[in-house]
Amino acid sequence: MTRHYLDHASTSPLRPAALDALTSALGLVADPGRIHQEALTARHAVEVARQQVADLLGARSREVVFTSGATESIAMACHGAARRDSEGRRTRSVLAAVEHSAVRHCADREGPTTVVGVDRAGRVDPDELLTAVGEDTAIVHLQWGNHEVGTCHDLEPVIAACRERDVLVHVDAAQAVGRVPVDFRALGADLLSVSAHKFGGPPGVGALLVRRGLRLEPLLLGGDQERARRAGLENVPAVVGFGAACEALGGGVLADEEAESRRLTDRLAGGTAALDGIERYGDPDRRLPHLVCVGITDIEPQAVLLGLDRAGVAAHSGSACASEGLEPSPVLEAMGVDAHRSLRLSVGWNTTDADVDAAIDALPGILAGLRALR
């Protein structure tokens, strides 16, 4: 049976350029921090990759700190922000209710938090978010676009206001990078987290962009790697693959992929909208290009996912109950929609119309069959 992968928002298959670069770099076994020839070869490969990442993201190469992925990058941002005020007066985190669990849990661990609600489309009101910023606020977290429903947030007014108040802003861009243009310098944020595997890079590598001049206490202590901002031997092959995935999006490729993703997800949205008991979640206009999330009335997501899998389609439920845990989705709960029954379909660099057709063709029979069992 031909398989159709529509779970790119979870992780995207390796791009050929990233696979080739990673495979070639497996022979770079030396520690990049040494001064012999083998080490300097590895150091050169790391710094080339750092520049490739910086070029894609509109950043200076020295602003790129390599990590194991967005989860670690988020933890670094939370940890450093909570300790930036030497007198301990600014320790509070302010965040939208739809932030990723990595942001919510790390912020809770580091100090007091204020969570700001969203509307039914998952949008946070910038004015309401800024009203929550007080004298004790260390950092504001606001994701570029939501990982479950795709809604994008209005970042510019929040970043501008926080800069005036000397409050850090961290942008979780794990779902945005490699999907839409990201210009760190123009954005003006202090911190931005990225995962390579979300857009066709290797798993186990990512970056935290740290605005030039900003000094934060490191999360991982030990050696002086990454200019003493993140201890531990660099994962050279993964870093090289990450850089190659970024470089592969140059020359207009990113714009072409964004347009194609929007076309494919528009087809998915239209195909699912024609079915009974389906409600689309998220902002249909101001959204990430690669994912569609819908609610399905009265049918548990596991059964739908299993039905799609038997039809050769890989998908995901927006609610956590279909994956790592048994709790309803905090994102969907915050939006005031059914947090137990949802379906997320997401496309990527190698998605075809045949993949979309497979999902659209399979869903009516799956839903009808499940409803007949009630």
pLDDT in tens, 128-147: 999 999 999 999 999 999 99
> Tokens in use for 360?
């659209």
- Helix orientation angle between 236-247 and 37-57, rounded to the nearest 10 degrees: 40
Q: Tell me which residue of 146, 140, 117 sits closest to 191, measured CA to CA.
A: 140
Over 50: is that where the pLDDT of 152 sits?
Answer: yes
End-to-end Cα, the chain, rounded Å: 29
> Tokens in use for 209?
């962009």
Distance CA(326)–CA(207), nearest Å, equals: 30
Catalytic residue chosen out of the listed positions 78, 152, 293, 321 = 321
- pLDDT score of 322: 43
- pLDDT score of 87: 83
- pLDDT score of 42: 96
Whether residue 321 lies in the annotated active site: yes
Domains of the chain (ranges plus CATH)? 4-12+252-372 (3.90.1150.10), 16-247 (3.40.640.10)
Chain mean pLDDT for the chain: 95
Tally of CB atoms within 10 A around 50: 23
Query: CA 211, 212, 214, 219 torsion: positive or negative?
Result: positive
pLDDT in tens, 226-263: 998 999 999 999 999 999 999 999 999 999 999 999 99
pLDDT in tens, 12-44: 999 999 999 999 999 998 999 999 999 999 999
Distance CA(217)–CA(213), nearest Å, equals: 13
